[in-house]
Amino acid sequence: MTDAVIADLRVRRHRAPLTRPWGESVRSIDVVEVSVETRDGRTGTGFSWTPSIGSAAVAALLENDIREWVIGRPADARTLWPLLWAHLHEAGSGGITTIAMAGLDLALWDLDSREHGASLSEYLGAERSRVTVYGSGVNLHYSLDELRAQAGRWVASGYAAVKMKVGRPGRGEDAARVAAVREIVGDDVALMLDANQRWTLDQAVDAMAELEQFNPAWIEEPLRADDLASHARLRSSIRTPIALGENLHTIYRFREAIEAGACDIVQPNVVRVGGITPFLDIAALADEHGVTLRPHLLPELSGQLALALPTATEVERVEGAGLAELGLLTDDGPVAFDRASLTSAGLPGLGVHFSERFVLAD
């Protein structure tokens, strides 16, 4: 890593409307752009991210506590991360704390990889030239016709795996919707289900008794993500693998989930866990325990990391929700999609360059 010293940290918030809203209350995506500058004038850019709640708080933490602490310290992500986490710990061990930390961590990785003239995946040591992408939809609010149309687009894109939401309130609604998607994608396509923490343990047992006839590849966040004990009980009660992790924020929580037998698949979100530094440690933990890792969202980063992980994985692509698709970037972004696969565009650093289009006024 670089031996440069941080001279400044700057923050800008962006808010882009979703072309396909994720529900009545989630119609936009907030990105908190973070730029660091060293004393010798070099810069790096990262970002924090939150779909609907908390971006103002994340920006405030960065602009105040993090900025004040980081100026004058070495521009080295691995050195700073544990020190900053300890410094911020009274504000919380995860959540807004780690989301804010990700902005700085990503900016430092961008700075260092660009200094070496390499893309992020090249700098980390690319293990492969492409990774598989699976289609994902935030579609619980879709009508059955809209859901069928989306499944048809997935088939046309050649995806070998797709994910849909479950957790509708009406009796039998989930089964009807899963049956419709399974009919369109066929038996050879892996179909994953995501309940987004909507069920109690008893509800999850009942729901999966009905939905396992459709051979789901996994059920994601069936219960409140914090309730690891109930996830472990559910795991012993159903045949379907359990995926968990988009709302776990530290390596300690991932270790607890794995050791408690709460899940078969871990899904760290590179921003929510605090950036690339902790993400790589969580990936190593999963490898050590023989647990499958599937990164959560943000293929612009997850894809580059997946290219460099020792163990191959698949990357999630939510329809219409990419940073470039939403107009947040000045170009097509750091990764390229070819139907159901992803490659690096070869841009130096993270390769994420934000436009002025959706900057929020102070």
Hey, what domains does the chain have and what are their CATH numbers? 6-115 (3.30.390.10), 122-344 (3.20.20.120)
**Residue 51: pLDDT above 90?**
no
CB-CB contact of 350 with 113 (8 Å): yes
Sign of the dihedral defined by the CA atoms of residues 267, 302, 33, 41, in that order? positive
Active site residues: 165, 296
Q: Which two tokens stand for residue 245?
A: 């992790």
DSSP state of 91: G
CA–CA dist 175, 275 (Å, integer): 37
Question: What's the rounded mean pLDDT across residues 142-152?
Answer: 97
**C-alpha neighbours within 13 Å on the C-beta side of residue 338:** 8
Q: What is the dihedral of CA 231, 247, 24, 177, to 10 degrees?
A: -40
- Report helix, strand and coil shares of the chain as percent, to nearest 5: 40, 20, 40
pLDDT of residue 1: 46
Q: Which of 234, 222, 231 is nearest to 198 (CA)?
A: 222
**Residue 170: pLDDT above 90?**
no
What is the pLDDT of the chain when averaged over all its residues? 96
Residue 257's Cβ-count burial label (10 Å; 0-12, 13-18, 19+) is: buried
**Residue 267: pLDDT above 60?**
yes
Q: Which tens digit of pLDDT belongs to each residue from 284-330?
A: 999 999 999 999 999 999 999 999 999 999 999 999 999 999 999 99
From the centroid of its chain, how far is CA 64?
Answer: 26
pLDDT of residue 277: 98
**Residue 27: pLDDT above 50?**
yes
Sign of the dihedral defined by the CA atoms of residues 277, 280, 286, 292, in that order? positive
CA–CA dist 342, 304 (Å, integer): 9
- As a whole number of Å, the end-to-end CA separation of the chain is 34
Q: Which of 235, 223, 290, 224 is nearest to 260 (CA)?
A: 235
Q: What is the dihedral of CA 101, 69, 251, 203, to 10 degrees?
A: -50
